[in-house]
Chains A and B, each alone.
Chain A
């Protein structure tokens, strides 16, 4: 949400057009629905409950995979599944889906940074040179 002003922005500003308080409240409105429309069908739960269902299902799948014999495919699958879980929580529960893209940047930049850093650390050989 951009900042709030009673005045129209001057001509030379390049900021987003500020919203008003009224709009801010309206923006929260989508949360108030107790039904979720998914692929054309209407479910009688809030979207949060639907997401919870998916999360629970994925977790069960994960546990099952981990009990199967170890393998690269399994591991990749686990990583992908947990990424999906993380993204679901962040997008729906933390409302990143509907917030300003700036917040997404605030989250993605450090994640990229630490992934690179960790990959680098793993590439430092323990052996002699």
Chain B
């Protein structure tokens, strides 16, 4: 081939074709998406941090009123569902589609339970008089947690879609990118919760 060759002799596109290529496209894209999610979440979390540093006494008050039990359970739910998620992927990589569906059902159930318990927690706090606009604690607490809760809801729905797709015979031991991308999302939501749990409830 010399400098002046304009194209390859045979018709063959690059970029779109292979599974590995597509997998890499999706993963890169999704990591980039998560990068921007990091920023959005951190704006909301920063609002809480500002308050936490300014009014530590008020935080203590709320902690005492709310207790840590409920959120500790919630943390476990989310951690377990993360584990279930990755076990599902593990099964699929071994070619076990039924295993994937099994684990993912657990994952979705746990995620849904998490949302339910968060609702209970919100109710408890509302009974304490803490609402979105009640005082400057409320808004700084609800904004990040509700935004996270919203992500959990989206995750559960997405998980159901994955299950549905698997039921119809989607995915194979080699072609798991759809699950992996969803996994990135779900684990990211988990990581955010790890941060929220520490920053808002523990410290």
Contact = CB atoms under 8 A, between A and B. Distances in A.
A4 B14 CA distance: 8
Contacts of A126: 54
Nearest to B19: A21
Contacts of B190: 89, 93
A72 B12 CA distance: 62
Interface residues of A, number: 57
Contacts of B34: 106-107
B152 to A, nearest CB: 15
Interface residues of B, number: 60
B18 A4 contact: yes
B203 interface: yes
Contact of B27 (A25, A48, A59, A103): A103
B157 interface: no
A86 B27 contact: no
Q: 6 tightest A-B contacts by CB?
A: A24-B20, A114-B42, A82-B198, A52-B83, A66-B202, A118-B46
Given A4-B20, A63-B68, A107-B34, 19 more contacts: A21-B19, A24-B19, A25-B174, A28-B176, A31-B89, A67-B68, A82-B198, A85-B194, A89-B82, A92-B86, A93-B82, A93-B85, A93-B190, A107-B35, A109-B35, A114-B43, A122-B46, A122-B49, A126-B54
